[in-house]
């Protein structure tokens, strides 16, 4: 990002239309519902992946109109950052069709994928915001992802404690945690024999604390990435824009994280898709992000693998793939936990839907990311292998497969009733950071079951 663009964004955050945050929420909520009705966008549960190109185009056009009319709300100043359509389109035209993640022999190229693209997606993997035990368990958890050959990038989980001290936002311990998370991630990829592997974030809350992770020798390098979040929905702050300023000067990749709530301000899957596409565009203009994490969450079940969730994320992917060069990454959050067949089925469904929609993938957020040490490399392998196997598949064929997979876990999506599975320590050998026979055996069983459905994973 040129410094003058961020200066202009800051100026507009100081001078844009003033309104209380609740007023902005209500304005967005009303306008989204009007746009859904105006464009006649309709969710069909029988088609987890929409096959109508015109609907994808309508979602994109509605999203652009939403951003132009409401702006990107700055919580610090209580003002909307407003844009002109021409300037947004000019910025979008400058986006690359591919980027390089990582360095040396471990570098991978992440492409702008299209609908039904035959090129396999890149996967950003890791505990995905899930709480982890500090120290050796954390290192081995990340190593379980990094040593999977199909995984391209690893990212941080969240620590509950550091040196036994509970981590609270804005405390010295949060800054220490950011520094150690980066060092432990570097240690994990080195142990896996992939020292140049792309590390995509350190999961601490305060934007300023993330700066402690930047260290070319022991922490995150310019070839790595840091997430800059948006607040729900279509909101930013000076803290986050200031983080962008420093990350740009350091030269690191920026990941634009959006956590749209299906059933929240945006309403159902139709409105959620519109809002999330608008958030992608805002992340390009204001964050100059290299890639964009679509971390959609169901307001009830904290997952994105139910039928409305898969429809919404695939709609986002298709809208962006047909109308832009914005690289979207489906952040797969699941209801079930490690050691459960239903988790692997959720991951497979998410990978298929995202892949045929032109997205890359990230995951998995097992148990909605809420339980300590409930994250392993094996479910991420399923997400990537399913997504790669679906590359080049037609959307109609994908729907046939999805309509066989989804019923296998659909009755287990209630977050209060979903099977929680077991911890990383119970499912993996800590010495080698490899899955024990029971978890590996279940993985092999699910692959056979998918093959029986006509979906072959090599």
Q: Could you give the C-alpha distances from 391 to 153, 334, 402, 419, 456, in angstroms and in order?
A: 19, 21, 14, 30, 12
| Contacts (Cβ under 8 Å, ≥6 apart) of 327 | 99, 110, 111, 112, 113, 290, 291, 292, 360
- Confidence (pLDDT) at 12: 98
pLDDT digit string, tens, across residues 233-292: 999 999 999 999 999 999 999 999 999 999 999 999 999 999 999 999 999 999 999 999
**pTM confidence score:** 0.97
Per the DSSP assignment, residues forming a β-bridge with 291 are 255
| Contacts (Cβ under 8 Å, ≥6 apart) of 133 | 159, 160, 372, 373
Helices (H) and strands (E) in the chain, counts: 14, 21
| Helix %, strand %, coil % of the chain (to 5) | 50, 15, 35
- Confidence (pLDDT) at 326: 98
pLDDT digit string, tens, across residues 88-111: 999 999 999 999 999 999 999 999
Q: What's CA 44's distance to the chain center, in Å?
A: 24
Q: CATH topology for 98-452?
A: TIM Barrel (3.20.20)
- Confidence (pLDDT) at 3: 54
Weakly modelled stretches of the chain, pLDDT under 50: 1
- Confidence (pLDDT) at 85: 97
DSSP string, 196-254: T-EE-----S-GGGGGGGB-TTTSB-TTSEEEEE-BTTTEE-HHHHHHHHHHHHHT-EE
What whole-number distance in Å separates Cα of residue 192 and Cα of residue 433? 9
- Confidence (pLDDT) at 1: 44
What whole-number distance in Å separates Cα of residue 284 and Cα of residue 87? 12
Nearest to 97 by CA among 119, 127, 77: 119
| Contacts (Cβ under 8 Å, ≥6 apart) of 380 | 123, 125, 126, 145, 148, 151, 347, 363, 364
What whole-number distance in Å separates Cα of residue 392 and Cα of residue 27? 40
Torsion of CA 335, 340, 344, 346, to 10 degrees: -20
Per-domain residue ranges of the chain: 98-452
């Amino acid at each position: 990002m040129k410094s003058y663009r961020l200066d202009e964004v800051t100026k507009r955050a100081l001078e844009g239309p003033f309104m209380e945050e609740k007023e902005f929420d209500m304005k967005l909520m009303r306008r989204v519902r009007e746009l859904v009705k105006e464009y006649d966008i309709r969710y069909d549960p029988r088609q987890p992946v929409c096959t109508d190109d015109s609907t994808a185009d309508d979602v994109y056009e509605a999203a652009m109109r939403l951003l132009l009319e409401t702006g990107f709300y700055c919580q610090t100043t209580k003002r909307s950052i407003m844009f002109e359509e021409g300037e947004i389109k000019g910025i979008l035209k400058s986006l690359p069709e591919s980027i390089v993640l990582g360095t040396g022999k471990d570098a991978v190229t992440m492409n702008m994928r299209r609908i039904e693209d035959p090129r396999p997606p890149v996967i950003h993997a890791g505990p995905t915001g899930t709480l982890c035990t500090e120290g050796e368990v954390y290192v081995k958890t990340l190593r379980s992802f990094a040593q999977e050959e199909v995984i391209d990038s690893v990212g941080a989980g969240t620590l509950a404690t550091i040196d036994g001290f509970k981590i609270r936002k804005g405390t010295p311990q949060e800054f220490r945690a950011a520094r150690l998370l980066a060092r432990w991630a570097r240690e994990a990829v080195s142990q896996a024999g992939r020292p140049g592997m792309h590390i995509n974030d350190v999961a601490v809350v305060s934007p300023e604390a993330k700066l402690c992770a930047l260290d070319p020798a022991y922490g995150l390098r310019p070839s790595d990435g840091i997430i800059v979040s948006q607040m729900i929905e279509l909101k930013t702050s000076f803290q986050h824009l200031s983080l962008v300023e420093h990350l740009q000067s350091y030269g690191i990749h920026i990941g634009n994280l959006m956590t749209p709530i299906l059933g929240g301000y945006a309403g159902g899957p139709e409105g959620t898709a519109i809002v999330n596409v608008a958030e992608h565009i805002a992340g390009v203009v204001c964050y100059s992000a290299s890639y964009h994490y679509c971390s959609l969450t169901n307001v009830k079940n904290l997952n994105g693998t139910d039928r409305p969730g898969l429809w919404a994320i695939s709609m986002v992917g298709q809208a962006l793939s047909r109308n832009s060069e914005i690289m979207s990454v489906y952040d797969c959050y699941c209801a079930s936990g490690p050691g459960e067949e239903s988790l692997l089925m959720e991951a497979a469904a998410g990978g298929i839907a995202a892949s045929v929609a032109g997205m890359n993938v990230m995951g998995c957020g097992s148990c909605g990311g809420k339980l300590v040490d409930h994250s392993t490399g094996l479910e991420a392998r399923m997400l990537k292998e399913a997504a790669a196997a679906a590359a080049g598949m037609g959307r109609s064929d994908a729907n046939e497969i999805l309509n066989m997979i989804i019923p296998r876990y659909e009755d287990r999506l209630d977050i209060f009733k979903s099977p929680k599975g077991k911890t990383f320590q119970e499912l993996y050998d800590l010495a080698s950071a490899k899955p024990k026979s029971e978890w590996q055996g279940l993985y092999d069983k699910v692959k056979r079951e998918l093959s029986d459905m006509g979906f072959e994973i090599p």
